[in-house]
Structure 1
Amino acid sequence: MRQLKISKQVTNRDTPSLDKYLTEIGKVKLITAEEEVELAQRIKQGDNDALEALCKANLRFVVSVAKQYQGQGLSLPDLISEGNLGLIKA
Protein backbone atom coordinates (compact mmCIF):
# COMPACT_ATOMS: atom_id res chain seq x y z
CA MET A 1 0.00 0.00 0.00
CA ARG A 2 1.30 3.43 -0.91
CA GLN A 3 2.17 5.70 2.02
CA LEU A 4 0.46 9.09 1.83
CA LYS A 5 2.29 12.31 2.57
CA ILE A 6 -0.06 14.89 4.04
CA SER A 7 1.25 18.35 3.26
CA LYS A 8 0.11 21.92 3.43
CA GLN A 9 1.42 22.61 -0.05
CA VAL A 10 -0.47 25.25 -1.99
CA THR A 11 -2.63 23.73 -4.70
CA ASN A 12 -2.28 25.02 -8.25
CA ARG A 13 -5.66 26.55 -9.03
CA ASP A 14 -5.56 26.23 -12.81
CA THR A 15 -9.24 26.75 -13.50
CA PRO A 16 -11.83 29.13 -12.05
CA SER A 17 -14.06 26.18 -11.12
CA LEU A 18 -11.25 24.45 -9.19
CA ASP A 19 -10.43 27.74 -7.49
CA LYS A 20 -14.07 28.19 -6.44
CA TYR A 21 -14.31 24.59 -5.23
CA LEU A 22 -11.17 24.89 -3.11
CA THR A 23 -12.41 28.18 -1.67
CA GLU A 24 -15.78 26.64 -0.78
CA ILE A 25 -14.37 23.53 0.90
CA GLY A 26 -11.98 25.77 2.81
CA LYS A 27 -15.04 27.31 4.50
CA VAL A 28 -16.20 23.97 5.92
CA LYS A 29 -15.51 23.67 9.64
CA LEU A 30 -12.91 21.10 10.64
CA ILE A 31 -14.14 18.50 13.12
CA THR A 32 -12.43 16.96 16.12
CA ALA A 33 -11.91 13.23 16.59
CA GLU A 34 -14.73 13.25 19.13
CA GLU A 35 -17.08 14.94 16.68
CA GLU A 36 -16.12 12.38 14.03
CA VAL A 37 -17.04 9.52 16.40
CA GLU A 38 -20.33 11.22 17.24
CA LEU A 39 -21.16 11.67 13.55
CA ALA A 40 -20.33 8.01 12.87
CA GLN A 41 -22.68 6.92 15.64
CA ARG A 42 -25.45 9.12 14.25
CA ILE A 43 -24.84 7.71 10.76
CA LYS A 44 -25.28 4.17 12.11
CA GLN A 45 -28.69 5.30 13.37
CA GLY A 46 -29.62 6.50 9.88
CA ASP A 47 -28.94 10.24 10.25
CA ASN A 48 -28.36 11.54 6.71
CA ASP A 49 -27.40 15.01 7.97
CA ALA A 50 -24.54 13.43 9.92
CA LEU A 51 -23.43 11.57 6.78
CA GLU A 52 -23.35 14.82 4.84
CA ALA A 53 -21.45 16.60 7.61
CA LEU A 54 -18.84 13.82 7.79
CA CYS A 55 -18.35 13.84 4.02
CA LYS A 56 -18.00 17.62 3.91
CA ALA A 57 -15.50 17.56 6.75
CA ASN A 58 -13.26 15.21 4.74
CA LEU A 59 -13.27 17.01 1.38
CA ARG A 60 -9.94 18.72 2.10
CA PHE A 61 -8.41 15.33 2.86
CA VAL A 62 -9.54 14.13 -0.59
CA VAL A 63 -7.76 17.09 -2.19
CA SER A 64 -4.63 16.36 -0.18
CA VAL A 65 -4.57 12.75 -1.39
CA ALA A 66 -5.47 13.72 -4.97
CA LYS A 67 -2.48 16.09 -5.16
CA GLN A 68 -0.16 13.15 -4.51
CA TYR A 69 -1.41 11.37 -7.62
CA GLN A 70 -0.98 14.31 -10.00
CA GLY A 71 1.13 13.70 -13.08
CA GLN A 72 -0.01 10.11 -13.49
CA GLY A 73 -2.53 10.66 -16.25
CA LEU A 74 -5.51 12.40 -14.67
CA SER A 75 -5.98 16.10 -14.01
CA LEU A 76 -6.30 17.35 -10.44
CA PRO A 77 -10.04 18.10 -10.84
CA ASP A 78 -10.61 14.55 -12.13
CA LEU A 79 -8.64 13.05 -9.25
CA ILE A 80 -10.64 15.14 -6.76
CA SER A 81 -13.88 14.06 -8.39
CA GLU A 82 -12.95 10.38 -8.18
CA GLY A 83 -11.80 10.84 -4.60
CA ASN A 84 -15.10 12.47 -3.67
CA LEU A 85 -16.99 9.53 -5.15
CA GLY A 86 -14.86 7.17 -3.11
CA LEU A 87 -15.53 9.22 0.02
CA ILE A 88 -19.28 9.03 -0.55
CA LYS A 89 -19.14 5.26 -1.10
CA ALA A 90 -17.03 4.73 2.02
Structure 2
Amino acid sequence: MGFMDRAKEAVDDLRASFATNEVRDSEQAYRDLGMLAYLTTTGRPIDDADRQRLVNTIWAVEQQGKLPPFRLVTPSPTPPPPHGSAPTPSQQQPPPG
Protein backbone atom coordinates (compact mmCIF):
# COMPACT_ATOMS: atom_id res chain seq x y z
CA MET A 1 0.00 0.00 0.00
CA GLY A 2 1.47 3.34 -1.06
CA PHE A 3 1.78 6.52 0.95
CA MET A 4 -1.21 8.17 -0.78
CA ASP A 5 -3.41 5.13 -0.09
CA ARG A 6 -2.45 5.20 3.59
CA ALA A 7 -3.05 8.97 3.76
CA LYS A 8 -6.48 8.60 2.13
CA GLU A 9 -7.35 5.80 4.56
CA ALA A 10 -6.28 7.99 7.50
CA VAL A 11 -8.47 10.85 6.24
CA ASP A 12 -11.42 8.48 5.84
CA ASP A 13 -10.88 7.17 9.40
CA LEU A 14 -10.73 10.73 10.73
CA ARG A 15 -13.92 11.66 8.85
CA ALA A 16 -15.71 8.60 10.29
CA SER A 17 -14.48 9.54 13.77
CA PHE A 18 -15.98 13.03 13.44
CA ALA A 19 -19.29 11.58 12.24
CA THR A 20 -19.32 9.19 15.19
CA ASN A 21 -18.64 12.08 17.59
CA GLU A 22 -21.53 14.09 16.09
CA VAL A 23 -23.90 11.15 16.52
CA ARG A 24 -22.71 10.61 20.11
CA ASP A 25 -23.05 14.33 20.87
CA SER A 26 -26.58 14.43 19.43
CA GLU A 27 -27.56 11.35 21.47
CA GLN A 28 -26.22 13.02 24.64
CA ALA A 29 -28.13 16.19 23.76
CA TYR A 30 -31.30 14.07 23.29
CA ARG A 31 -30.78 12.55 26.71
CA ASP A 32 -30.18 15.89 28.38
CA LEU A 33 -33.16 17.48 26.63
CA GLY A 34 -35.31 14.58 27.86
CA MET A 35 -34.05 15.16 31.38
CA LEU A 36 -35.03 18.85 31.13
CA ALA A 37 -38.46 17.84 29.81
CA TYR A 38 -38.89 15.54 32.80
CA LEU A 39 -37.84 18.27 35.23
CA THR A 40 -40.27 20.70 33.60
CA THR A 41 -43.10 18.15 33.64
CA THR A 42 -42.56 17.47 37.33
CA GLY A 43 -42.62 21.18 38.18
CA ARG A 44 -38.94 21.69 38.77
CA PRO A 45 -37.06 24.70 37.46
CA ILE A 46 -34.66 24.47 34.53
CA ASP A 47 -32.27 26.89 32.93
CA ASP A 48 -33.90 27.87 29.64
CA ALA A 49 -30.46 28.67 28.21
CA ASP A 50 -29.53 24.99 28.67
CA ARG A 51 -32.71 23.91 26.89
CA GLN A 52 -32.06 26.26 23.98
CA ARG A 53 -28.41 25.14 23.72
CA LEU A 54 -29.50 21.50 23.47
CA VAL A 55 -32.16 22.25 20.87
CA ASN A 56 -29.58 24.22 18.85
CA THR A 57 -27.10 21.33 19.07
CA ILE A 58 -29.64 18.81 17.80
CA TRP A 59 -30.89 21.23 15.13
CA ALA A 60 -27.35 21.80 13.78
CA VAL A 61 -26.70 18.06 13.46
CA GLU A 62 -30.10 17.58 11.80
CA GLN A 63 -29.38 20.34 9.27
CA GLN A 64 -26.17 18.54 8.31
CA GLY A 65 -28.22 15.41 7.61
CA LYS A 66 -26.35 13.46 10.28
CA LEU A 67 -29.05 13.06 12.89
CA PRO A 68 -30.00 9.46 13.66
CA PRO A 69 -33.67 8.63 13.02
CA PHE A 70 -36.16 9.76 15.65
CA ARG A 71 -37.32 6.66 17.51
CA LEU A 72 -38.18 5.66 21.04
CA VAL A 73 -35.71 3.25 22.56
CA THR A 74 -37.62 2.20 25.67
CA PRO A 75 -40.43 -0.27 25.02
CA SER A 76 -44.00 0.77 25.65
CA PRO A 77 -45.55 -0.91 28.67
CA THR A 78 -48.19 -3.55 28.08
CA PRO A 79 -51.55 -1.78 28.12
CA PRO A 80 -53.87 -2.72 31.00
CA PRO A 81 -56.78 -5.04 30.22
CA PRO A 82 -60.10 -3.40 29.39
CA HIS A 83 -62.11 -2.34 32.42
CA GLY A 84 -64.28 -5.16 33.77
CA SER A 85 -62.40 -8.00 32.09
CA ALA A 86 -61.25 -10.95 34.13
CA PRO A 87 -57.56 -11.00 35.02
CA THR A 88 -55.35 -13.55 33.31
CA PRO A 89 -53.89 -16.32 35.49
CA SER A 90 -50.57 -14.42 35.73
CA GLN A 91 -52.43 -11.35 37.04
CA GLN A 92 -54.38 -13.24 39.72
CA GLN A 93 -53.22 -13.10 43.31
CA PRO A 94 -52.25 -16.42 44.92
CA PRO A 95 -54.79 -17.77 47.42
CA PRO A 96 -54.14 -16.80 51.04
CA GLY A 97 -51.96 -19.32 52.82
Larger Rg: 2
- After TM superposition, the score normalised by the length of structure 1 is 0.28
- After TM superposition, the score normalised by the length of structure 2 is 0.27
- The higher relative CO (CA closer than 8 Å, separation ≥ 6) is in 1
